[in-house]
Amino acid sequence: MQLGDIDIELIQKNIKNVHLSVLPPHGQVRIAAPLHLTEETIRLYAISKLSWIKREQKKIRGQARESKRLFVNKETHYLEGRKYLLNVVEADAPAKIVLANKTIKIYVRPETTTEQRQTLMNEWYRERLKKIIPSIIKTWEPVLGVSVASFGVKLMKTKWGTCNIEAQRIWLNLELAKKPLQCLEYIIVHEMVHLLERHHNQRFLALMNKHLPDWKQSKELLNSLPVSRGDWEY
């Protein structure tokens, strides 16, 4: 669907309500609408939201972005919201990563490529997240009165997290390893609240306000931080 100079991806499926999204990294617009709605009705809905769409696009396109990481000496990397300098140590030994004061030491063989170094870093980030996430989930399960059957960590292009309500499984973006812990907790609580309420409606917001009153500040912090370039953005 075209709305002036804005392209809108329209998806119609068996749902009850219209869902409008403006997606990173470039502000793509997507509308998911019930099957029974006509295209003209959806167009009128989009027109009514035009000011909001443009505001969100401006916000996303103006977000600071990190330069592409090359995984070389003295390059800046982040862990749990803190800045570290990368120290690349080439040695004929198994690869490993060690956190030392304000430095991330990555031990690799001399012939290791940039992509291999990135893969090693990603796995290190993944393992660190997997050690932190269970305790956060365990803390919030009795508070919210829900049970998370399982969780996973993976790279996502447009979301910080997702929730499979039927399987009671949540997925979290690997990039959260770089963000402050309060941001990680906010996303985990957000996805766990979806086990009580599927949609981002007034009930969902009321549950967030009740259980995590400062969630808006955590969301603003998360969205204010620089995002990565390259394969993963936002």
Per-position pLDDT tens, the chain of length 234 = 998 889 999 999 999 899 998 887 678 899 999 999 999 999 999 999 999 999 988 887 776 667 788 999 999 999 999 999 999 999 999 999 999 989 999 999 999 999 999 999 999 999 999 999 999 999 999 999 999 999 999 998 778 999 999 999 999 999 999 999 999 999 999 999 999 999 888 999 999 999 999 999 999 898 888 776 443 332
Check: CB of residue 208 under 8 Å from CB of residue 215: yes
Query: Which token pair is 25?
Result: 């990294």
Structural domains in the chain?
2-61 (no CATH), 114-224 (3.30.2010.10)
Helix (H, G, I), strand (E, B) or coil at 230: coil
Instruction: Count CA atoms within 13 Å of residue 207 on its CB side.
Output: 22
Amino acid letter, residue 50: L
Instruction: Count CA atoms within 13 Å of residue 184 on its CB side.
Output: 24
Check: CB of residue 26 under 8 Å from CB of residue 61: yes
Helix axes 181-193, 202-211, angle to 10 degrees: 140
> In 24-144, at which residue ranges do the beta strands (DSSP E only) sit?
28-34, 76-79, 82-90, 96-100, 103-108
What does pTM read for this prediction? 0.77
